[in-house]
Structure 1
Amino acid sequence: MRILTNHLGYDSAAPKSALVEVPHPGEMPHVELLSLDDDSRVRLSTRPTATVDAWQTGAYARVDFDEVNAPGRYALLASVGDEVVSSPPFMIGVERLAAGTLSDILFAFKAARSSGEIERKDAAALRYADDSGFTVDARGGWLDASGDTSKFLSHLTYSPTMSPQQIPLCAWAFLEARDRLAERHPRFHKALGARLRDEALFGADFLVRFRTPDGAFYSGIFDALTKQLEERVINAPLPECVRTDRYRASYRGGGGLAIAALARASREQEHGAFSSAEYLAAAVGAFDDLEAHNTEYLFGLDLKTGALTNSSESVVDEYCALLAAAELVAATDGADGVDAERFVAAADRRAAALIDRYRTSPDEPGWFEAWEDGRPFFSAVEAGLPVIALLRYAELVPDARFGDTARELALAVMQDVLRRTQAVDNPFGYPRQRVQPRGGSVRDAFFFPHENDTGYWWQGENANLGSLAFSALGVADLPACDSVQATQLRRFAADQVHWVLGRNPFDVCMLQGRGRNNVEYTPDFPNLPGGIVNGITSHPDDENGIAFLTPETTEGPDSWRWAEQWIPHSAWFLLAVSAS
């Protein structure tokens, strides 16, 4: 038997749960909560033990102890027959998770800033397949991952529905987290607010620089994983590190979130290397460019022939463009010489399109239709972002034409997430999505399919957990969300945070330097203290199984899928904790 807990402990006023792993399904452990301060004990009720899908990790009895809120040191005791086990000690305290995570994450981002020889090379970055000698000042931004010194707005830009938001999301998230702290955790806002703002402005400065002469954003600067400075050029990569010159960022390719981040930064009283007016001008210029040319920047990849193809907009374009337009409305409201109505019109149009993509059925939870071929939207990184864009639109756009509908849909989407997540034995509360593997049938699943349109990319989903947790917390605050629904959503959000911080089948805390059983990526590319690794996936040989770093994969070519850090994980987790 084992007892799995959040390694960092629990917030006094938040949902609290642990899992007792038992050898055989059906065994019901006797569980007590022991105070290590006064030796008092409380008997806890357990849910029936259950196995999860085809996870070869045991059967689990879930224990919830929300009613225990007295700060102190505790341990859980569980017994079945003559066997008795104890959890490692843990703390319950006021705002314990914020205290144990937020500053660490900020330090990791500061350490991941582009600097040194990379920064000197990026000061005059060349563009792939451009022999004109033209250079771009690409200084700033954060390096993408433990073993990848690239800087990306997005890196899977050839996939219509799986292009993740990277540096721009982080820049936007710092300001959003700062504002959530002011509401939820004022003392941490006082301690960390300026640091969050300054990190956001550092990201905004990079975005202003990283543009074409006519105002479009570039999607990334990448060395094809050679770690050679001379190979570091602006390009849009394909599988196997094949580089292309399709490097103008579409809405879904990072352009939308870059506009959103710059528009939001322009509202700050402080600024970085550029003025607030320059942030806004860059955002407006990029918006105008994408409104005219977004479909020209979209492209796809035929995985059979390797040929590049034309593409059309997807749900990712819709929610990224919606967030961009909503932030521009807020940034230009009342501004002299700016026609804010065109941003309002764009926001209304994108909100209507996103709302229109939601599909419902009387027999199953709903889903977003992702693309023209009818596939469902699913993500390993940002499944919560459509909801966040809808909420932000309803909040920022005065008299939004579809504001009420956006809030109603946000609530419906998260109710459907709960329905799908709760439809099977799932003591961890791990989210399930409607997925469609490449060449396969639609199904509901715990993890991102191995076979997908990227041709190679699947990895741990800690970023996705943070995005869904943050969206659940936003919906829980809606006036239309009743107390029962709000409680369920907050418990769902807490389940995602607990999973990342150790209450998972591998008893691994995925925040480096905290908790137990941290993993390293490789000796050559160590993980940063305060960063978050990719995380847990389905088993490489079984879509219904589960896997984390194993002895067979440690330091192997696929170890990145689980053990490498990536900046979107940290940004989304930051948002989830700031709003908890």
Structure 2
Amino acid sequence: MRVEAITKRAVLVSHLGYDSGAPKAAVVVGLADGLRARIEDPDGRPLGVAVSIAAPAPVAGWSSVRYARLEFDELRAPGRYLLVAEDDDGVVVSEPFTVADDRIPGLIVSDITAMFRAQRSSGEIERKDAAARFYGDDSGRSVDARGGWLDASGDYSKFLSHLTYTRMMSPQQIPLCAWSLLTAGRELRSAHPGFSTSQYPRLRDEGLFGADFLVRFQDESGFFYTAIFDALTKRLEERVITAPLQDSVRTQRWQAGYRQGGGVAIAALALASTADTDGDFTREEYFAAAIRGFDHLELHNRDYLFDGEESVIDDYCALLATAELVQAAAERGDDVSRFAAAGAARAASLAGRLRQGDGGAWLVGDFEGRPYFHAAEAGLPAVALLRWAQVARDILGDPAAAESAAQTAVALLAGTLARTDAVPNPFGYPRQRVQPLGGQPRDAFFFPHENETGYWWQGENAGIASLAYAAAVASRLPGLDGGLRERLRRLRSDVVGWVGGLNPFDSCMVQGRGRNGVEYSATYQNTPGGIVNGITSGWDDEEGIAFLPEAAPDGEEWRWAEQWIPHSGWFLLAVCAG
């Protein structure tokens, strides 16, 4: 299955619809100057709602087609609608779309929770993982590694992180999803209280299921294991505890440092210890596991990094861990001083990495001075800083520390907005400052193909959703400039719309929702409610755009059409926080 961008005259809208109080946008394709637009009801009656129209323009590198952005925030009344656009060559009408209170969480929360439940380790895999062996170890020792979620449509591994051999590309996987499910439950009860008795318990219980796995997947000395991996063979006897390199080469470096899943595992367990019920383990056991992990990595983190050098990812993962530990310890009435000291040091380190350039702020990622960029969690530095600001203000009683952390987070997001708005960008897709391997830093829509992994790049739905969640949290900060607050809210809505079908391919990337969804494999099928990797730069042209392109060889479909659990974890947060 190959997918082409829409180039004929069309009006693209979010397939999922729009929340009543959220910013709303659509994109017109291929119409000329003098464009007019209006909103009608399903019977064709104009409603008189204001529609702002940006001048049509192409996106450099994507194609010569001209796009025009429409905004219609004033449309708040629940109902079904049409967007009608016209120029001197005629009229084009959108597909019908829905506006409603809680429209997006009403569709998405249950879908994603059900997807995670379907991705649970079970059956023969669960029986094998009950006594998981170590790669290259004939001693017979084993780990009870039951639980957790299988990583992707075509990968039945269980990862705290993969790409752990890199300095700035390790993504947070199972721990992130456990933390996101628990955090999403809290966000949902706050932003959408009507779901408190329906979806909240499901989110909490699924998050605790992830925390249960993390307890089991912790060595008695305190570190967490990085992964159970079968080298993509799907053979049970090949499932071993390891940390893989490129080409599925397995290693005996299975200890997870802060950036390799250990930091967010600590955060998830600390958060689980504050839940309103137990899982398979008690809240006391979650807290104890988090403390063991923190104490161990404070002493040994560098020992577990392939190059022995910490990067920005160690900073923000450790910062999130300390923030959740401060919260959990304070709720128990325990001393928080050592967590507070560690968190303050990590927040200061992140602030020291901040650079202001003509194109907007960015972070120094490593000791070589490269800019930080990430395909799966570009928003996590800001999320960690904002979480730290919250506990510094509310628990530590340190408004200066809270303000400093919040200012760093806002500067990072303002930098993202500056890059996003620096070029024609009608869909509002977030842009990053990237640096290809052996190249110079540049601002780009998509992740560079040439990078330190040697092979890994794919659609970035997790990464843009992480920025959407960070923007939603930052938009709630008191004293924020009103224009910036609204721009952050619009960033969040643009990302939700992009994943929900408002993109150049008119494809909804949530399995089972919307139109023109893509298929990954007849053998390794996608799961209803899950989210595919998504859109990338061109196969041969990194200034271009692609979604299952004709130029890609067979076997490369995973880069676009395969589902991966971090996409769902981050998108869930973005939806629940809005």
The answer to whether the superposition gives a TM-score over 0.5 is yes
Pairing partner for 1:102 from 109, 129, 145: 109
1:414 & 1:314 partners in 2: Cα distance? 20
Return the alpha-carbon distance in structure 2 between the equivalents of residues 94 and 331 of structure 1: 33
Give me the whole-angstrom Cα distance separating, in 1, the residues matched to 2:384 and 2:105. Answer: 24
CA distance in 1 between partners of 2:89 and 2:13 (Å): 22
Query: Structure 2 CA distance, aligned partners of 1:163 and 1:45?
Result: 41
**Residue in structure 2 matched with residue 228 of structure 1 by the alignment:** 235
Determine if the alignment matches structure 1 residue 70 to structure 2 residue 77: yes
Partner of 1:348: 344
Confirm or deny: 8 A CA contact 1:160 1:311 kept in the other structure: no
SS in 2 for 1:542: coil
- In structure 2, how many angstroms separate the alpha carbons of the residues matched to 1:311 and 1:291? 14
With 539-548 and 392-401 compared, the bigger mean Cα shift is at: 392-401
Instruction: Give per-residue Cα distances to partners, 1:225-250, cap 9 Å, x unaligned.
Output: 00111011011011111111111000
Q: Deviations over 1:149-198 (max 9, x none)?
A: 00000001111011000000111111111111111100123311100110
User: In 1, are the aligned partners of 2:539 and 2:552 still within 8 Å (CA)?
Assistant: no
Give 1:59 deviation, angstroms: 1.2
Query: Is residue 352–residue 402 contact of structure 1 (8 Å, CA) maintained in 2?
Result: no
Task: Kindly state the Cα deviation for residue 314 of structure 1 after the two structures are TM-superposed.
Answer: 0.2
Check if 1:3 corresponds to 2:2. no
Q: Does 2:180 match 1:155? A: no
1:375 corresponds to:
370
Query: Which segment drifts farther, 39-48 or 115-124?
Result: 39-48
The 5 A counterparts of 1:358-437 are 358-361=354-357, 363-397=358-392, 398-400=396-398, 402-437=401-436
- Would the aligned equivalents of 1:411 and 1:481 in 2 still touch at CA under 8 Å? no
Could you tell me which of 31, 36, 40 is aligned with 1:30? 36
Write the distance in 2 (CA, Å) between the matches of 1:551 and 1:423.
30
Q: What is the letter of the counterpart of residue 70 of structure 1?
A: A
Structure 2 gap segments, 5+ residues each: 1-8
Aligned pairs for 1:238-253 (under 5 A) are 238-253=245-260
Shift of 1:551: 4.6
Contact 1:28 1:49 in 2 (8 A): no
- 1:571 match: secondary structure: helix
Contact 1:37 1:72 in 2 (8 A): no
- Where is the strand percentage greater, Structure 1 or Structure 2? 1
Distance across 2 between alignment mates of 1:569 and 1:133: 36
**Is the contact between residue 361 and residue 414 of structure 2 (CA under 8 Å) also seen in structure 1?**
no
Q: Distance in 1 between matches of 2:257 and 2:431?
A: 29
- Whether 1:541 and 2:549 are equivalent positions in the alignment is no
Equivalent AA in structure 2 for residue 377 of structure 1:
Y
Picking from 267, 271, 277, the partner of 2:278 is: 271
Q: Separation in 1 of the partners of 2:34 and 2:424?
A: 16
How many angstroms apart in 2 are the aligned matches of 1:334 and 1:72?
Answer: 44
1:409 deviates by 1.4
Distance in 1 (alpha carbons) for counterparts of 2:351 and 2:119: 37
Aligned residues of 2:434 and 2:447 also touching (Cα < 8 A): yes
In the alignment, residue 569 of structure 1 is paired with which amino acid? H
What SS does structure 2 have at the residue aligned with 1:454?
A: coil
Query: Is contact 1:436-1:449 (8 Å) kept?
Result: yes
Counterpart for residue 325 of structure 1: 322
Quote the Cα distance in structure 1 between the aligned partners of 2:466 and 2:440.
26
Q: Counterpart of 1:311 in structure 2: which amino acid?
A: G
Tell me the residue number matched to 2:45: 39
Structure 2 residue 225 is matched with structure 1 residue 218: yes
Aligned-CA RMSD value: 1.4
Q: TM-score, normalised by structure 2?
A: 0.96
Residue identity matched to 2:575:
V
Counterpart CA distance in 1 for 2:92 and 2:569 is 36
Quote how far apart the aligned CAs of 1:253 are. 0.1
Name the counterpart of 2:478: 479
Give yes or no for contact 1:72–1:92 (8 Å, CA) kept in 2: yes
Q: Could you state the TM-score of these two structures normalised by the residue count of structure 1?
A: 0.95
Task: Output the CA distance in 2 between the equivalents of 1:117 and 1:57.
Answer: 52
2:374 is aligned with what amino acid?
S
Identify unmatched segments of 5+ residues in structure 1: 300-309
* Superposed displacement of residue 351, structure 1: 0.9
Quote the Cα distance in structure 2 between the aligned partners of 1:223 and 1:18.
Answer: 44
Could you say which residue in structure 2 is the equivalent of 1:146?
153
d(CA) in 2 for partners of 1:37, 1:69: 18
> How far off its partner does 1:552 sit?
5.3
Shift in Å, 1:94: 1.2
The aligned counterpart of 2:21 is: 13
Aligned pair partner of 1:316 in 309, 313, 316: 313
Q: Distance in 2 between matches of 1:4 and 1:420?
A: 24
Separation in 1 of the partners of 2:206 and 2:359?
Answer: 42
Q: Aligned to 1:20, what secondary structure does the other structure show?
A: strand
The one of 563, 566, 572 equivalent to 2:561 is 563
Distance in 2 between the 1:334 and 1:5 partners?
45
Give the C-alpha shift of residue 41 in structure 1: 4.1
How far apart are the structure 1 equivalents of 2:206 and 2:300?
30
Give 1:40's aligned amino acid.
P
The letter of the residue matching 1:432 is: R
Q: Secondary structure at the match of 1:91?
A: strand
Q: Is the 8 A contact 1:37 1:73 kept in 2?
A: no
- The answer as to whether partners of 2:182 and 2:208 remain within 8 angstroms in 1 is no
- SS of 1:440's partner is coil
Instruction: Name the counterpart of 1:305.
Output: none
The answer as to 2:505 corresponding to 1:510 is: no
Q: 1:57 to 1:6 in 2, by over 3 A?
A: farther
Deviation at 1:553, TM superposition (A): 4.4
- Show the counterpart of 2:130: 123
- Provide the residue aligned with 1:254 in structure 2: 261
In structure 2, C-alpha distance between the alignment counterparts of 1:119 and 1:247, rounded to whole Å: 20
How far residue 296 of structure 1 moved from its aligned partner, in angstroms, is 0.3
Letter of the structure 1 residue corresponding to residue 561 of structure 2: A
